[in-house]
Structure 1
Amino acid sequence: MRILAATDFSTRSQRAVRRAGMLARERGAELTLAHVVDDDQHPYMVALEMREAERILGEQIGAMAELQGLHVRPLTVAGDPFDGILRAGASASADLVVMGAHRKQLLRDILVGTTIERVIRTGPFPVLMVNGEVEQPYRTALAPVDLSELSVNAVRSGLALGLPGGDRLAIVHAFTALGKGQMFHAGLSARVIDGYVAEERMRATNELAAFLKANGLDDHGQPVRVVEEGAPFEVIATAVKQVKPDVLIIGTRGRSGITKALLGSVTEEVLQSLDVDILAVPPIR
């Protein structure tokens, strides 16, 4: 296994490097620590900053507790931050890219997205966005599943990368009770509507169980299942508060239409709004 940790030497990047070191130690993985120098400046300044980055990388490798005893390869790349990270990931043949939570720059984010969102959107690598302090190995994971192959791929990738499985994995599934609004406008009683929603929840629960079994995802100690009515993001956010996972595993694209785009635009909202560490997994290409 090969891990690339991208750092801009900020506090949020230090958390990502520490998490990457912890994962590398757990998995016996090769670790590359990369920094991208902006090349939109005079070549003399680029060369100067490259040398300084190499010095700081060496200091971090020597001083950070989570990196002690590991073989860590320092790598400096010149270019645009997101493109540089993609090239560094390719150079390291990375199975996982670890980055710190993005720094919001409202106007720029609206126009082009943050660096981490661009890496996730355009790159072939699973990307772990580290939001929290690094205190212990991951023990619990939560994965949204929308009954698509993309969500299956995300869960499988998380397990393959050594994120929690078995009874430490919880599955969250959002469903829509399509007739609820019509029943309300028709003046039916709350008891009747609640009964209908309960039936829809049971149907969704059974569909999820069959889906997990068909894809071999119930072979890991019967993961906890959270099945709730509502918009996907709201259901995911509520599940994060209830389950309190160490990491959330989510795919980057999904179905659209009446079944909801659980793994498309919802992923962006998750990345922008939730404080939990997030593993974003691209579709198989």
Structure 2
Amino acid sequence: MHILAATDFSTRSQRAVRRAGLLARDNGAEITLLHVVDDDQPQDLVALERREAERILGEQIGAIAELHGLRSHALVIAGDPFDGILRAAASTRAGLVVVGAHRKQLLRDIVVGTTVERVIRTGPFPVLMVNREVDQPYRTALAAVDMSEPSLNAIKAGMALGLPGRSRLALVHAFLPLAKGKLSYAGLSRETIEEYVADARVRATKELISFLDANGLDDHGQSIRIEEGAPIEVIAAVVEQLKPDVLIIGTRGRSGIAKVLLGSVTEEVLRSLDVDILAVPPLR
């Protein structure tokens, strides 16, 4: 396995490199540290920045404790950050891309999305966005499951990466009792509405257990949270309650104009939650 850790030499990126080192150690993986130099400037300046970046990457490989003893490589590419990350991931055949949390630039984010989001939207690689300080390997994980192929793929990818072992993986599923609003509007009693919601929860629970059973995920002691509400609200609430080390979530492939519009659960999670997030694209 090969892990690609992208860095712009910021504190955010430093956390990503350290986390990538811990994961490489746990998985017996090679690791490549990548820096992308902006090529929209005079070529002599590009060449100067490339040399300086190569020097800094070499120093980091020698100085960062989490990289000691690993098969580590430095790589500098010129281009746009998100395209450079995708090209580097493809050339190294990376099984995981690790990046630091993005800087929030509201107007630009709304129009084109962050580098992290663009890598996730357009690439086939699992992407781990590191938000928190790194002090130990991951111990607990929370996976969002909506009984779709992408969510199943994300759970399996997280398990394959050891994020973490199955006995410490919790699952969260959001359900929406669609007729609840109509029942309230019709003036039915609170008890009747609560009974309807309880029945919907039971149905959702049975469907989720059947889904897990059909995909071989039902016999490893994961805790399961089934909560009423919109997915982003439920995920955020359970993250706050359980405080997992990492959140695992699948993404759905989109094309055309959909790629530059906000609204997916994954994008909302990436923008709003202060937790490390593994985003896994659909199988292609």
Question: Fold-level match, TM-score > 0.5?
Answer: yes
Aligned to 2:122: 122
Aligned to 1:5: 5
Runs of 4+ in 1 over 2 A off after TM superposition: none
Instruction: Give per-residue Cα distances to partners, 1:209-246, cap 9 Å, x unaligned.
Output: 01000011123x22110001110100110110111111
SS state at 1:194 partner: helix
The aligned runs of 1:209-224 (5 Å cut-off) are: 209-219=209-219, 221-224=220-223
Report the AA paired with residue 127 of structure 2. V
Q: d(CA) in 1 for partners of 2:28 and 2:107?
A: 41
Aligned to 2:260: none
The aligned runs of 1:16-35 (5 Å cut-off) are: 16-35=16-35
Aligned to 1:178: 178
Aligned to 1:192: 192
CA contact (8 A) 1:148 1:254 kept: no
Instruction: Give per-residue Cα distances to partners, 1:70-117, cap 9 Å, x unaligned.
Output: 121000000011101111111111000000000111121111111111
> 1:30: how far off?
0.6
Give the % identical residues: 74
Aligned to 1:110: 110
Q: Structure 1: 5+ residue runs without aligned partners?
A: 256-263
> 1:190: how far off?
1.1
Report the AA paired with residue 19 of structure 2. R
> 1:161: how far off?
1.4
SS state at 2:227 partner: strand
CA contact (8 A) 2:174 2:228 kept: yes
Instruction: Give per-residue Cα distances to partners, 1:129-162, cap 9 Å, x unaligned.
Output: 0000001101111111111111111101111112
Count of aligned positions: 276
Instruction: Give per-residue Cα distances to partners, 1:22-77, cap 9 Å, x unaligned.
Output: 10111110100000000000000000000000000011111111111112100000
Aligned to 1:260: none
SS state at 2:248 partner: strand
Q: d(CA) in 2 for partners of 1:200 and 1:59?
A: 57
Aligned to 1:277: 276
Q: d(CA) in 1 for partners of 2:200 and 2:123?
A: 37
Q: d(CA) in 1 for partners of 2:275 and 2:215?
A: 27
Report the AA paired with residue 25 of structure 2. R
SS state at 2:9 partner: coil
> 1:167: how far off?
2.1
TM-score between both structures, scaled by the size of structure 2: 0.95
Q: Structure 2: 5+ residue runs without aligned partners?
A: 255-262
Aligned to 2:246: 247
Report the AA paired with residue 108 of structure 2. R
> 1:204: how far off?
0.4
Aligned to 2:53: 53
CA contact (8 A) 1:150 1:254 kept: no
CA contact (8 A) 1:120 1:127 kept: yes
> 1:191: how far off?
1.3
Q: d(CA) in 1 for partners of 2:240 and 2:87?
A: 36
The aligned runs of 1:41-120 (5 Å cut-off) are: 41-120=41-120
Q: d(CA) in 2 for partners of 1:239 and 1:114?
A: 25
